[in-house]
Structure 1
Amino acid sequence: PVQPQAQASGLAEPERTRQQPLPPLPPLDLLAELTNTPPPPPTPLRTTMRRVRIWTPLVLLLLIVFAIVQMVRPLPAPALTLTAAPTFTFEGGELKLPFPTEGQGAVEVEGVGSMGTYGAQTPAPIASVTKTMTAYVILRDHPLKGKQQGPEIEIDQKAADQGKAEHESTAAVQKGQKYTEKELLELLMIPSANNVARLLARWDAGSEAAFVEKMNAAAKELGMTQSTYTDPSGLLDSTMSTPKDQLKLAKAVMQYDVFREIVNMPNVTVDGIPGRIENNNNILLKPGVSGIKTGSSTPAGGNLLWAANTVVDGQNRRILGIVMGAKDAAELGKKLQLAIDNSYKIIQQAQDDVTSAAVVRRGQVLGYVDDGLGGRTPVVATKELKAIGWPGLQVKLDLTDGGKAVPHAGKAGDIVGQVSIGTGAGKVSSPVALQADLVEPGFDKKLTRVG
C-alpha cells in the first residue's frame, strides 16, 4: 500500500525531461543533419581531397616564406681560386756551387732564399768576423745618414796601450786623439783593429761587458739562435756562431748605407795614422764584390763573410755568403787567403747562376672568382711577372685578394686581387683582373642554394 505522504509527494513533483548532450559531428555530417541530407560515405579519394584543401594554403605560405628568406640572406663571400700551376721550377737542373771540402758555409740571395750550404752548420769560432756585430750595434745605437761623420770620440789610454799589442790586429791610435764615429768604424772594419772594437764598446755601453750583453741581445732579436758573443773584437775563441746566423746579421747590417760604403773600401787613409790602410779582403776590386769582413785565428781558421752583386734585368741583386773554417794551409795568413779564394770561386759561380724567368705572362688565366653559388669568373694577370732564381729553384705562386674583399659584381678588367711570387724583399706581385663581367648570382641560384 502506498503511503499517503509519499503518494502525495510523488504527485506534487512535476516530471523532468533528462536530455544527454549530442556528440560533435563532422562538418559534412553536421551539414547533412541540418539539411536532413545524409553525408556522403567516406572514400580514400574524398579523404585525400579534403587533406589537399586543408594543407595546400599552408604549403604555399611556407614556400613564399622560404623564397623570401633565400632572397634576403647575405650572399657568400666570393673567393679567388688558383688554377695555374702552384709552383715554377727554373731550368738548368740542379744548382752546383763550388763549395770547399772543409769547414762550413752558406750562400743566399737577399730576398729570394738560400742557394745552399755545406759543412756541419754548427757553432764555431768566427774570429774578427765578430766585428760585424760590433759595427751593427754601434750603427743601430748611433745611426749615420748621408755624409754624416757622427760624434767625435777621444782615444783613451787603454785603446792607445792596446794599439801596441804584437799578436793582434790593431790601429796605431794615440791617447787624446779624436776620431769621428765613421773613422773609427773604418778602423774597425778595414784593418780589423781590436783596440778600436773595445774602445767603441766602452763608448757605447760604458764597459766592454755591458756591450757584450747588447751584442747577445741583438743576436737574439735577429734570430741568431746559435750564436754567442763574449767579446767585441773576436779575439776570444768562445765567441762562436754558424753560417746561417752570420747571414742573418749580414742582411741586417747591410741595410746601413755607411756600412756598405765602408766594407766596400779596398783601402783607407785616416788622419793621424801614417800611411794607407789596406783592407784584408783583397778581392774587393773584383767585379761585383763588396765586403764584408775577414777573420782568422788558429782555432777558427780562415773566415770571410762576404757580399757580392749581380745585375739581373737591369737591377742589382745582392748575394750574401760566408766561408768558415778554412784550415788546409800551413800559415794563418794563408788560411785566411784560402777562405778568400774559396769565397771568390763561389761568388763567380753564384753571379753566373742568378737569373730571372717569366713565371706569369700578361693576360694569362691564373684562376677564377668563385661566387660561392657555382659561378666562376676567370681572372688574368695584368702584366708579366718575372722571378729571380737559379737552376733548380722552385718558387711558389700565391693568388690573394691583396687585402681587399673580392666584389660580388664587376666589369671585365676590374682589379680583384694579386698574384705574387716569393717573400720579403724579393717578393714580386702583379694585379689580377676579371677576364669577363662578374655578375651577382641570380634568383634561381639564390633560391636553390643550401647551407
Structure 2
Amino acid sequence: MFRAVRPEADGGAETPAKDAKGADDAKGAKAPAKGEDVPADRATSVFRTVRPEADGAAEAPAKGADDAKGADDAKAAKAPAKGEDAPADQATAVFRAVRPKGDDGSEAKGAEAAKGEDTPADRATAVFGAVSPKKNGKAAASVDQPTELLKAPEAEPGGKGGKTPAESDSERTSQFVPLKSLDGAPAKPEKQEKPGKPEKAAKAPAIPVSVTPPAPPKAQPPKGGPAVDGAAAPAQPAAPLDLLAQLTNTPPPPETPARNAMRRVKIYAPLVVLLLIVFCAVQAFRPLPDTKLSIASAKATFTFEGQKFDMPWPGEGQAAAMVQGVGSLGTYGEEKPVPTASVAKVMTAYVILKNHPLQKGDKGPDIEVDAEAEQEAKSQDESRVPLTKGEKFSEYDMLQMLLIPSGNNAARLLARWDAKTRDAFVAKMNDAAKELGMSKTTYTDPSGFDKTTVSTAVDQLKLAEAVMKNEVFREIVAKPNADVPGGPHLNNNNDTLLLKVGVLGIKTGSSTPAGGTLMWAAKRTVGGKEHMILGATMDQHFKGGPDPNAENSLLMVKNVSYKMIKAVQDSLTSVTIVKKGDVVGYVEDGLGGKTPVVATKDLTGAGWPGMAAKLTLGKGAKPVPHEAKAGTEVGELTVGSGTGAMKVPVALQKNLVEPSFGAKLTRLG
C-alpha cells in the first residue's frame, strides 16, 4: 500500500531494494543511466514522497519491497547520478522505503543478506520494512515483519545535487503481484556484500520492533489413522460440558448423586407439569356421571307392628298368595308341575285378549260356530256349552262361555278362530307363559282337559297378576252367571265362592288327575285404598269318600281357598310409614357428593302384622339433574311393588350443586 524513499547517504544515490521474488526474476538487469528518466511506478501506486536532501544531495529512489514483479524486472538497475533530477513519483505510491547501502555504496539485495546478518522475514502480510541498526560496522538486514507499518528513514550525512532521481522504467511499468505465502519454499539466504567496501554506518530505526515468528504447526495423523512419527492419536471430541469448561477455562463440576438427581428433576419436571395440566383439563371437562337416588338405610324397610300373621295354608297340595302392590304372603307345598284342569282356560283368555284386545263395553268381532264345536257340545265327559253350527257370537260372549260355565268346546273354537289350528294356538300359549316367567308350566291344549297341561301354584299366581290387569277379564270372572244374547244361560261353577264378600273370582278347575284347582282373587280396602288379594291353590284331592268327576275335590279347594282369603282380609291394615319432611334418601352425584331428599307428604302403606315392607327410592317422570334448587322434586318413594304400590314424591332438602373441582380432579372411574 505505501512505499517510502530513504534519503541518500554520503551523497551517494540510494539503490532500490529488491523484493524476494523480484530478485529471483530480474537478475542481471541494470539501473538507468544518469540523466535518464526513471520509469514510472506501478499501476497501483498512488503517491510518492521525497525525503529532504542531506548536505545538498538528492534522494535516490528505492524499489519497493512489496512490488514483486517490479523488483524482478529491475533487479540490475543502477541509481541515478548525483545532481541529476529524480524520476517522477509513482502513480499510487504513498511512502517508499529504501534499503540502506552497504560499505561499498551499493544497496543490499532485498532477497539476499550478507552472511552473519539476520535474514529478513518474508511474510505475506508485511507492508513496511524497518531498517536494523549496524552490527560491528555492517549494515543490519532490514526487519520485514507482518506487524511493521513504517520504516523509519535514515538521514544522509551529506546530500548532493538537491534533486530526486527520476523513476526507472520498471517502476513505471510495474504491475500488482500477490505476495507469496510463507508456507511455501523457505526464503533464500541473503548474498554476502562485495568485499573491499567499507560498511556505511546505518542508523537504528526510529521504532525498533521485534516479533517472534509463530512456530510451525505440528503434523497430525489422518483422522482415525495411526499416529505418525510417534505422535499420539487425536482425542475423541469433547463432551458439551467439557468443551464448555475449556472455553470458559472452568473445569466441569464433579458428578455427584445430588447433581444427578437435580439434573433429572430439571429434565423431567416440565414434562410432569405438562402432563398434570393435561390431566387436570381432561378431568375438569369430562362428562359428569349420571346422578342417582339412594334410599337411607334407616328407611329401607318398615316392619308392621303386632303379632306375626299366620296364613291358614291347605293341608296338602300347593298354594301361593300375595297382596297386589304390597307383597307376597308366601307359598305352601312342593313347587312341582301338576295338572291344571280348567284353570288353563285363563291362559286361553289371556292370549285371545292380547291378540284381540277389547275395551270396556266393547263386544268385539263375531265368531261363527263350526261343525267341530257343535259336535263337541254333545260330549258327556267334559264341561261344554250348547252350540250350533252357523251361529255367530261376539268375542265378548265367547269369552263368557269360556270362563263362566268353563266350556271346553268354546276354548277350542276360540283357538281355531285365532290361530287356525289347535297346535298353533297352543304354541302361543307357551310363548306367553315364557314371557311371564312361568318356567314350570307347559300347555298342550287350550282347555286344560289334557292331563299333560301342567303348572305350579307360583306360576299360576304370576298369570293371575297379569291377567287381572285387564278390565274386561275382571268384569267377566266376577259374574256368578250371565245370559248370552241368542245363546244359553250361563252359570258359574264358582258361584258359591263369588257370593262371599270381597271375592272376585277367578277360575275353578277339576278333574280326576288334577283334583280341585282354583285361581282366586279378592279385595280389601284399607287407608282409603282398595287392595287386591290374589292366590292359587292346586292339587287338592278329596279323600273322605267317592269323588265323581272330582266334584268333592272342587268343593274342597274352594273351602280352603276362602279360609286364606278371609284371613288376609282380616289382617290387612294401613299405617303411616314415612312422614312429610323425613329424610328418606340422597341424590348422589357419582363423585362422592350427597344431597338429602325428603318426603313431600305422608306415605301410608298396607300390610299385615309382622310384615317387613320394602321401600324404594326411584326417579320420577324427569331425570335427576346435576344442579337444582332446594324443594325441587327429583323422584318418588315407593312402598310395595306392582300396580297397588303406594308412592309419594321426594324433593331436595337443600340446593343440589355440581361436584367441586377437587372432586372432578380425583375422579378415577
2:215 maps to 16
Equivalent in 615, 634, 637 of residue 419 of structure 1: 637
Q: Is the alpha carbon distance of 1:381 and 1:233 closer, same or farther for their aligned partners in structure 2, counting shifts above 3 Å?
A: same
Q: What is the letter of the counterpart of residue 651 of structure 2?
A: A
1:221 maps to 435
Q: What is the letter of the counterpart of residue 246 of structure 1?
A: Q
Q: What is the letter of the counterpart of residue 378 of structure 1?
A: P
Which whole-Å CA distance do the structure 1 matches of 2:384 and 2:336 have between them? 29
In the TM superposition, residue 156 of structure 1 has moved relative to its aligned partner by 2.8
2:143 maps to none
Q: Is the alpha carbon distance of 1:209 and 1:362 closer, same or farther for their aligned partners in structure 2, counting shifts above 3 Å?
A: same
Which whole-Å CA distance do the structure 1 matches of 2:663 and 2:425 have between them? 67
2:363 maps to 149
Q: Is the alpha carbon distance of 1:345 and 1:66 closer, same or farther for their aligned partners in structure 2, counting shifts above 3 Å?
A: same
TM-score normalised over the length of structure 1: 0.80
Which whole-Å CA distance do the structure 2 matches of 1:376 and 1:392 have between them? 33
1:339 maps to 557
Which whole-Å CA distance do the structure 1 matches of 2:601 and 2:216 have between them? 104
Q: What is the letter of the counterpart of residue 335 of structure 2?
A: Q
Larger gyration radius, structure 1 or structure 2: 2
Q: Is the alpha carbon distance of 1:152 and 1:421 closer, same or farther for their aligned partners in structure 2, counting shifts above 3 Å?
A: same
In the TM superposition, residue 416 of structure 1 has moved relative to its aligned partner by 3.7
2:492 maps to 279
Equivalent in 379, 382, 394 of residue 612 of structure 2: 394
Q: Is the alpha carbon distance of 1:12 and 1:225 closer, same or farther for their aligned partners in structure 2, counting shifts above 3 Å?
A: farther
Q: What is the letter of the counterpart of residue 471 of structure 2?
A: D
Matches within 5 A, 1:27-176: 70=280, 73-74=284-285, 77=289, 80-85=293-298, 86-176=300-390
Q: Is the alpha carbon distance of 1:269 and 1:385 closer, same or farther for their aligned partners in structure 2, counting shifts above 3 Å?
A: same
Q: Is the alpha carbon distance of 1:26 and 1:441 closer, same or farther for their aligned partners in structure 2, counting shifts above 3 Å?
A: farther
Q: 2:497 is paired with a residue of what secondary structure?
A: coil
CA-to-aligned-CA distance 1:179-199 (integer Å, 9 cap, x gap):
222222212211112222222
In the TM superposition, residue 374 of structure 1 has moved relative to its aligned partner by 6.6
In the TM superposition, residue 344 of structure 1 has moved relative to its aligned partner by 0.8
Higher strand share: 1
Which whole-Å CA distance do the structure 2 matches of 1:372 and 1:159 have between them? 64
Q: 2:559 is paired with a residue of what secondary structure?
A: helix
Matches within 5 A, 1:329-368: 329-330=544-545, 331=547, 332-368=550-586
In the TM superposition, residue 442 of structure 1 has moved relative to its aligned partner by 6.3
Q: Is the alpha carbon distance of 1:74 and 1:139 closer, same or farther for their aligned partners in structure 2, counting shifts above 3 Å?
A: same
In the TM superposition, residue 450 of structure 1 has moved relative to its aligned partner by 7.1
Q: Is the 8 A contact 1:84 1:365 kept in 2?
A: no
In the TM superposition, residue 130 of structure 1 has moved relative to its aligned partner by 1.6
2:449 maps to 235
Q: Is the 8 A contact 2:597 2:653 kept in 1?
A: yes
Q: Is the 8 A contact 2:325 2:531 kept in 1?
A: no
CA-to-aligned-CA distance 1:267-307 (integer Å, 9 cap, x gap):
12234456x43211021121111111111111111111111
Give me the CA root mean square deviation. 4.0
Q: Is the 8 A contact 1:90 1:393 kept in 2?
A: yes
In the TM superposition, residue 427 of structure 1 has moved relative to its aligned partner by 4.1
Q: Is the 8 A contact 2:509 2:517 kept in 1?
A: yes
In the TM superposition, residue 342 of structure 1 has moved relative to its aligned partner by 0.9
In the TM superposition, residue 201 of structure 1 has moved relative to its aligned partner by 2.2
Matches within 5 A, 1:254-403: 254-273=468-487, 276-281=489-494, 282-328=496-542, 329-330=544-545, 331=547, 332-369=550-587, 376-400=594-618, 402=620
Using CA pairs below 8 Å that are at least 6 residues apart, which structure has the higher relative contact order?
Answer: 1
Q: Is the 8 A contact 2:527 2:606 kept in 1?
A: no
In the TM superposition, residue 387 of structure 1 has moved relative to its aligned partner by 3.2
Which whole-Å CA distance do the structure 2 matches of 1:71 and 1:411 have between them? 28
Q: 1:392 is paired with a residue of what secondary structure?
A: coil
In the TM superposition, residue 107 of structure 1 has moved relative to its aligned partner by 0.8
Which whole-Å CA distance do the structure 1 matches of 2:589 and 2:653 have between them? 15
Q: Is the alpha carbon distance of 1:59 and 1:432 closer, same or farther for their aligned partners in structure 2, counting shifts above 3 Å?
A: farther
2:412 paired with 1:194: no
Unpaired stretches in structure 2, ≥5 consecutive residues: 1-184, 190-212, 219-237
In the TM superposition, residue 245 of structure 1 has moved relative to its aligned partner by 1.4
In the TM superposition, residue 358 of structure 1 has moved relative to its aligned partner by 2.7
In the TM superposition, residue 158 of structure 1 has moved relative to its aligned partner by 2.7
Q: Is the 8 A contact 2:318 2:537 kept in 1?
A: yes
Which whole-Å CA distance do the structure 2 matches of 1:69 and 1:233 have between them? 69
In the TM superposition, residue 405 of structure 1 has moved relative to its aligned partner by 5.9
Greater mean alpha carbon deviation, residues 235-244 or residues 163-172 = 163-172
CA-to-aligned-CA distance 1:66-92 (integer Å, 9 cap, x gap):
689758824865665543422222333
In the TM superposition, residue 209 of structure 1 has moved relative to its aligned partner by 3.0
In the TM superposition, residue 265 of structure 1 has moved relative to its aligned partner by 0.8
CA-to-aligned-CA distance 1:198-218 (integer Å, 9 cap, x gap):
222222222333322322222
In the TM superposition, residue 448 of structure 1 has moved relative to its aligned partner by 8.3
Q: How many equivalent pairs are there?
A: 429
Q: Is the alpha carbon distance of 1:252 and 1:400 closer, same or farther for their aligned partners in structure 2, counting shifts above 3 Å?
A: closer
Q: Is the 8 A contact 2:627 2:656 kept in 1?
A: yes
Q: Is the 8 A contact 2:326 2:639 kept in 1?
A: no
Q: 2:424 is paired with a residue of what secondary structure?
A: helix
CA-to-aligned-CA distance 1:404-447 (integer Å, 9 cap, x gap):
6655544322334443334442444433322233455667x579
CA-to-aligned-CA distance 1:382-402 (integer Å, 9 cap, x gap):
222233333333333334455
Which whole-Å CA distance do the structure 2 matches of 1:397 and 1:17 have between them? 105
Q: 1:283 is paired with a residue of what secondary structure?
A: helix
Q: 1:161 is paired with a residue of what secondary structure?
A: helix
Which whole-Å CA distance do the structure 1 matches of 2:617 and 2:480 have between them? 46
Identity of matched residues, %: 49
Which whole-Å CA distance do the structure 2 matches of 1:308 and 1:354 have between them? 12
Q: Is the alpha carbon distance of 1:10 and 1:427 closer, same or farther for their aligned partners in structure 2, counting shifts above 3 Å?
A: farther
Unpaired stretches in structure 1, ≥5 consecutive residues: 1-8, 34-38
Which whole-Å CA distance do the structure 1 matches of 2:630 and 2:297 have between them? 20
Which whole-Å CA distance do the structure 2 matches of 1:149 and 1:337 have between them? 33
2:453 paired with 1:206: no
Which whole-Å CA distance do the structure 1 matches of 2:487 and 2:636 have between them? 56
Q: Is the 8 A contact 2:324 2:642 kept in 1?
A: no
Which whole-Å CA distance do the structure 2 matches of 1:382 and 1:146 have between them? 36
In the TM superposition, residue 354 of structure 1 has moved relative to its aligned partner by 2.9
Q: Is the alpha carbon distance of 1:79 and 1:103 closer, same or farther for their aligned partners in structure 2, counting shifts above 3 Å?
A: closer
Which whole-Å CA distance do the structure 2 matches of 1:338 and 1:446 have between them? 66
Q: Is the 8 A contact 2:322 2:330 kept in 1?
A: yes
TM-score normalised over the length of structure 2: 0.56
1:4 maps to none
Q: 2:345 is paired with a residue of what secondary structure?
A: helix
Q: Is the 8 A contact 1:71 1:447 kept in 2?
A: no
Q: Is the alpha carbon distance of 1:91 and 1:163 closer, same or farther for their aligned partners in structure 2, counting shifts above 3 Å?
A: same
Q: Is the 8 A contact 2:516 2:556 kept in 1?
A: yes
Q: Is the 8 A contact 1:290 1:307 kept in 2?
A: yes
